[in-house]
Amino acid sequence: MSESGLPVNNEGILVVEGENVAKVAMALSSPTRIQILNFIKSKEVDMQEVAELIKQSKANASAQMRILEEAGLVRTSYKPGVRGVKKVCSTGVKEVRLKLQ
């Protein structure tokens, strides 16, 4: 399961249908968010790494990540950092299938 409750199978395939199609399609409509997904598909990364990847502030990177998280494409958590906690992101999604009705 992804964070939003969308089912991700053992092969990393997320099948999206119904009202979730528009939300996932919107999240995937940005080249920046596609770049983020490709970056985190095989590892857990923190927001600083994402910000450096997309050459934007951590606030902008966090906003992009929130859209991906709300669509069920990534999950975030907090881990101990050098100074306090840091937000880390990961995904189990390797493929997205949209089922149109």
pLDDT band at 3 (very low <50, low <70, confident <90, very high): very low
Query: What is the total count of domains within the chain?
Result: 1
Question: Where do we find the tokens 């964070």?
Answer: 3
Is 19 within a domain?
yes
Is 5 within a domain?
no
Q: What is the CATH number of the domain that holds 52?
A: 1.10.10.10
Is 74 within a domain?
yes
Is 34 within a domain?
yes
| pLDDT in the model for residue 27 | 96
Is 1 within a domain?
no
Is 6 within a domain?
no
Is 77 within a domain?
yes
| pLDDT in the model for residue 75 | 92
Per-residue pLDDT reduced to its tens digit, 27-53: 999 999 999 999 999 899 999 999 999
Range 23-30, long-range pairs (CB < 8 A, 24+ positions): 23/70, 23/71, 23/72, 24/71, 24/72, 24/73, 24/96, 24/98, 25/98, 26/67, 26/71, 27/67, 27/68, 27/70, 27/71, 27/73, 28/71, 28/73, 28/96, 30/64, 30/67
